[in-house]
A and B are shown apart, each in its own frame.
Chain A
Amino acid sequence: MAAEDHGDDGRQGWKSDVFRVLKQHGIRHVVYVPDAGHSVALRLAEADDEIQSVVLTTEEEGIGYLAGAWLGGDKGALLLQSSGVGNCINTLALQAMARFPLLMLVTMRGDWAEFNAWQNPMGQATEASLKLMGVMTWRADRPEDVAPLVHGAATMAFNGDAACAVLLGQRLIGEKQWVK
């Protein structure tokens, strides 16, 4: 593993935990709009021959894709940044009306120590927006919470035909360095 996965402070292991838990739940499709916080999971997904990795032009594409994959018998997960939750709102009707399992992993912006205030409006509205559309949510702000919360959300999504989102907090991900 690269140093990026297990940083000197031992706080970065959650990044590979995400992918490990997805694999344990039999995820065959990882669909995403990239974010730095997902970079390890995305690299592992792209390198895994058993996983279909699908880069999207906009996040709501993933809701349709995962519905189709489930129709065909497969499980998947949508990885996105909090800004992309806003793009998903209307399309979440598909999940709500047909009760497709939907597992979303959301890296947060506009959440803590945000330098770019333009991220704040959607970041502050992310969890409330998901709840308004019937998505269950959990927040992970500590590394040790990531694996159990992703496991819990995957369990409830695929055993309950439910929409479940884990929000990966900005304190967990770390402050973005804008000036080097």
Chain B
Amino acid sequence: MGEVNAGGDLDRREVVRRLLEGRKDLLVVTGLGSPSYDVMAAGDHDLNYYLWAAMGSAAMVGLGLAKAQPGRSVLVVTGDGEMLMGLGALATIAVQAPPNLTVAVLDNGHFGETGMQLSHAGRGIALDQVAGSCGFPWTAEIRQMSQVDGLRARIGSRDGPKLATVKIRAENAPRVLPPRDGAYVKNRFRMALGHAPI
């Protein structure tokens, strides 16, 4: 496969800011690296859970959360490299079919955190098509900001798991670091949902 699909023209910070605009009680999980910085840059929130490790786990954290909180909408914001490391999660999510889970893959076609090496996505693997093949009832490849607004409008729906690859520019925005104390962020998140620490 050649370099047929390496990212796009959208600005990642603007994409995430638009996705989270007016978020209300949306629950958000971020994959390690730039997606965590993008979500932080859009505004820290008690209902954000930022991953700093466990590459490949973001979508699964989102699934567990979606199954435990079926009355709320869950948005996973991650990168193409992070999603590729947990590709099997797309099969697991499709089998569970949580109606309230949306995965937004910020796809620049590269491993941005490690020196912009070309990823599988940048070499032609379309993660939205993989999700579609697994049985996600709604998938999309997004190249225009108007489609981002469309994606945001769908997050609140209850019509099955959704995944969009959002084609962003392969560039690193200034780092905006979320808290690294995982226990603090965990307990802050749980307390916002009414669960006391142990």
Contact = CB atoms under 8 A, between A and B. Distances in A.
A94 interface: yes
A66 interface: yes
Between A28, A52, A64, A100, the greatest number of chain B beta carbons within 10 A of the residue's beta carbon is seen for: A64
Contact of B49 (A28, A71, A90, A97): A71
Nearest to A101: B198
B86 to A, nearest CB: 7
A92 B67 CA distance: 21
Interface string A56-86: 1110111111111111111010000000000
Contacts of A70: 64, 68, 186, 190
Contacts of A73: 68-69, 190, 193-195
Nearest to B194: A73
A93 interface: yes
Contacts of A66: 64
Contact of B61 (A58, A64, A74): A64
A48 B69 CA distance: 19
A65 B60 CA distance: 5
Given A57-B89, A73-B195, A160-B198, A68 B61 contact: yes
Contacts of B96: 52, 54
A76 B64 contact: yes
Given A71-B68, A97-B52, 4 more contacts: A54-B67, A61-B57, A72-B64, A98-B182
Interface of B: 27, 29, 49, 51-69, 86, 88-89, 91-92, 95-96, 182-183, 185-186, 189-190, 193-195, 198
Interface of A: 28-29, 52, 54-58, 60-74, 76, 90-91, 93-94, 97-100, 158-161
